[in-house]
Chain A
Amino acid sequence: MAEATANGLGQHTLHAGHAHEAPAAVARADAHQEHPIKLYLVVWAWLFILSTCSYLVDYFGLHGYLRWSLILIFMILKAGLIVAVFMHMAWERLALAYAIILPPILVLVFVTMMVFEADYTLLTRLAFFGAGP
């Protein structure tokens, strides 16, 4: 992946190769992020479209696995766009990207544990108190 550079020329594609030679300013610690305005506007538009889609999921009253999977898909796409483009993670070195993005994914282990725990709590509540009012 391309790194942050001082001029950003030719670096605005997400998967730009590493072939180009970067200007000397790159070595500076504060190599900064400058990308075409158009890219931000396109992402902005996509965020609007995806938000509208997830709102329509509720508006049309979809339910069950269709609802849940659509909600999750739109959520992940929106989160990915914000982190990759607005927060410039797509242009950072992988050492930073992995250090920041991997730990939250491990929260899923915690989620799994708590799903089992909550199911067990519900089971005992139903066994001792009966079905809800």
Chain B
Amino acid sequence: MGETLTNIGQTEPRPTGWQGIAADWSSDQRAFKNVSWGKAMMWIFLLSDTFIFGCFLLSYMTARISTRVPWPNPSKVFALRIGGSEIPLILIAIMTFVLISSSGTMAMAVNFGYRRDRRKTAILMLLTAALGATFVGMQAFEWTKLITEGVRPWGNPWGAAQFGSCFFMITGFHGTHVTIGVIFLIIVARKVWRGDYDTGRRGFFTSRTGRYENVEIMGLYWHFVDLVWVFIFAFFYLW
């Protein structure tokens, strides 16, 4: 348990549970006691991003409930013909496993980062980036397939016209997040590989020195991308 420094220079242990919440928030100091500003800001950014994706999924729900035209069956729309038989939703299932695996490698990278194992951290982060790039590639394949089959934001051959706009908006925004994540993973992996967090080398953009916690903050973003996919998979592809 952490300790709080009082205004008369004494320290007292921090309370936990509900008392801890009340004490932390009413302390007239920083509310997040043992969390660095970098991590707290990433969490708050992710909270705002949650609302963005929440609104996308909400508008999709509203469109799907309010249309009197039947909604296209995602199980058939996203089926692939492999070895002569239609397998429902198989590409989306593979994409899900790829993204979950990338989350696993990211969690391991954070772990090795705190153990100061630069080599393993960088390799695992690059592996995460490779899996993320694979995911984006499969998404590009999926978009190409649907566009050639005639799906447009204003209509499609199978049913409710809103299907296309919901699909392109939701998966497009998620794919953008993955792409940005891949770019930042490569940047942070390079910093780890070069030993920036050990030598105190300053960043090219912020001119600040970094710490191995940066790997964990990067990980928070990456796990969030995986988290959003869990919701998209459930609501858009499976529902």
List the interface of chain A (C-beta within 8 A of B): 1, 3-4, 18, 21-22, 26-35, 37, 40-41, 43-44, 47-48, 51, 54-55, 57-59, 61, 67-68, 71-72, 74-75, 78-79, 82-83, 85-88, 92-96, 98-100, 103-104, 107, 110-111, 114-115, 117-119, 121-122, 125-126, 129, 131-133
Contact = CB atoms under 8 A, between A and B. Distances in A.
A111 B51 contact: no
A48 B97 contact: yes
Contacts, number: 190
Contacts of B1: 3, 18, 21-22, 26
Size category, B interface: 35 or more
A87 B202 CA distance: 26
Interface centre among B24, B54, B223, B238 (most CB of A within 10 A): B238
Given A82-B103, A104-B50, A58 B24 contact: no
Top-9 shortest CB links A-B: A118-B65, A95-B24, A121-B66, A75-B234, A44-B104, A132-B68, A118-B66, A132-B69, A118-B62
A129 B66 CA distance: 13
B100 A47 contact: yes
Interface stretch (B167-175, B182-190, B211-219): B211-219
B33 A125 contact: no
A133 B106 CA distance: 48
A40 B233 CA distance: 22
A60 B45 CA distance: 39
Interface of B: 1-3, 14, 16-18, 20-21, 24-25, 31-36, 40, 43-44, 46-47, 50-51, 54, 58, 61-63, 65-70, 75, 88-89, 93, 96-97, 100-101, 103-104, 106-108, 110-111, 114-115, 211-213, 216, 219-220, 223-224, 226-227, 230-231, 233-234, 237-239
Given A21-B1, A82-B226, A95-B24, 20 more contacts: A18-B1, A26-B2, A28-B34, A30-B36, A30-B213, A40-B104, A40-B107, A41-B104, A43-B107, A44-B104, A51-B96, A58-B238, A78-B230, A79-B227, A83-B223, A83-B227, A86-B107, A86-B219, A93-B33, A118-B62
